[in-house]
Amino acid sequence: MTRRSLLDLDDFTSDEITGILARARRFAADPPARDLLRDVCVVNLFFEASTRTFTSFAIAEQRVGADIVALPPGSSSLGKGETIADTAITLAAMGVRVIVTRHPESGFPYRLAESFDGHVINAGDGRHAHPTQALLDLLTLQSEFGKIAGLRVALVGDILHSRVARSNVIGLRALGADVTLVGPNTLLPAAMAGPGVRIERDLDAVLPNVDAVMLLRIQRERIAAAVLPSLEDYARNYRLDARRLAALAPGAIVMHPGPYNRGVELTEDVFAFAGWRYAQQVAFGVYVRMAVLDFLVNAPPPGA
Ligand code: CP
């Protein structure tokens, strides 16, 4: 692979992450001409359901003037036994410069990038990574607080199976935030702690001491997989409701990558909370994705 891709946030230095956030802020304040990616062909290759990420990339690609092809799930010849490498070679031969991909298998975008002479953007792979979600979360925090360094951010819920959590931890630590991971033992092994990342089981003890709470979706299949006793049990200990919102520090915000399960990780009280930032996150997603596309395609190659 000779061109840069975004497979996870550790592909970028902290300066590059900061630069992409600045570029996204610039695009939000002053939309660029629709020619940043003129004559650049982008293929959206999604093998897993997506409302936010798929639509957001499609809008972002339109706004930078790319030529867009969406290959619907089941339509690619991977289903007929074509290898990932041959798919990559085939798309590159047609002049495709960027592939945006989501796949249920962790590592799929890495294998694609090994053989693709172009840029691959990971739009979510298995439990592994979701770097553009983390970037839009960082932009939301930065826009709210004017900085990331020193912020205290709690990620709450199914950390173990969350690609959003993994990419966010990388991004938050790269920019100097303090991270607290909160959840039950089965969804958050103690081994996930690390430098600047601590583990807490008691959400009520954490809430008064953070600037932002990032809720994660509880996947109902975890009950079937016997890693949670019941949704009721999870809700009793970790659901954000009116009582827990009242315990937050003044000015604290609540975020969620979506889709959210009403009644499980949050109650409807959250939607009326002044610090609920879900819509802001979604809106920033378009600008962050425009910025990533512009950065990857238009930045000078290394050594140039
Ligand atoms: N946040 C997120 O990835 O949502 P979608 O699954 O709808 O893309």
Query: Which tokens belong to 250?
Result: 């003044």
Express each pLDDT in 115-158 by its tens digit: 999 999 999 999 999 999 999 999 999 999 999 999 999 999 99
Nearest ligand 1 atom to the CA of 102 is 8
- Is pLDDT of 74 > 60? yes
Cβ-contact 103, 113 below 8 angstroms: no
Q: Express as a percent the part of the chain with pLDDT over 70.
A: 96
Tell me what pLDDT residue 242 has: 98
In this structure, the residues whose C-beta lies within 6 A of any atom of ligand 1 are: 50-53, 124, 133, 257-259
Tell me what pLDDT residue 72 has: 82
Select from 154, 241, 244 the least CA-distant residue to 201: 154
In the reported structure, the alpha carbon of residue 139 is separated from the centroid of ligand 1 by a whole-number distance in angstroms of 17
- Is pLDDT of 1 > 80? no
Q: What is the mean pLDDT of residues 80-89?
A: 91
Query: Which tokens belong to 49?
Result: 């359901």
Nearest ligand 1 atom to the CA of 54 is 8
Q: What is the mean pLDDT of residues 82-91?
A: 93
Tell me what pLDDT residue 219 has: 78
Listed in sequence order, the residues at least 6 apart from 170 whose beta carbon sits closer than 8 Å to its beta carbon are 8, 9, 10, 134
Q: Which residue has the tokens 């959206």?
A: 44
In the reported structure, the alpha carbon of residue 260 is separated from the centroid of ligand 1 by a whole-number distance in angstroms of 10
Question: Atom 3, ligand 1: which residue's CA is nearest?
Answer: 53
In the reported structure, the alpha carbon of residue 302 is separated from the centroid of ligand 1 by a whole-number distance in angstroms of 32
Tell me what pLDDT residue 151 has: 98
Select from 44, 17, 214 the least CA-distant residue to 135: 17
CB neighbourhood size of 73 (10 A): 12
- Bond from prior residue into 73 cis (ω within 30 degrees of 0): no
Torsion from C-alpha of 6, 11, 14, 18, nearest 10 degrees: -10
Q: Express as a percent the part of the chain with pLDDT over 90.
A: 85
Please choose from 45, 53, 55 the residue to mutate so as to test ligand 1's pocket, defined by most ligand atoms within 8 A of CB: 53
In the reported structure, the alpha carbon of residue 54 is separated from the centroid of ligand 1 by a whole-number distance in angstroms of 8
Query: Which tokens belong to 266?
Result: 């949050």
Q: Which residue has the tokens 């590059």?
A: 16
253 bridge partner residues = 212
Q: How confident is the model at residue 192 (pLDDT cuts 50, 70, 90)?
A: confident
Please choose from 46, 50, 217 the residue to mutate so as to test ligand 1's pocket, defined by most ligand atoms within 8 A of CB: 50
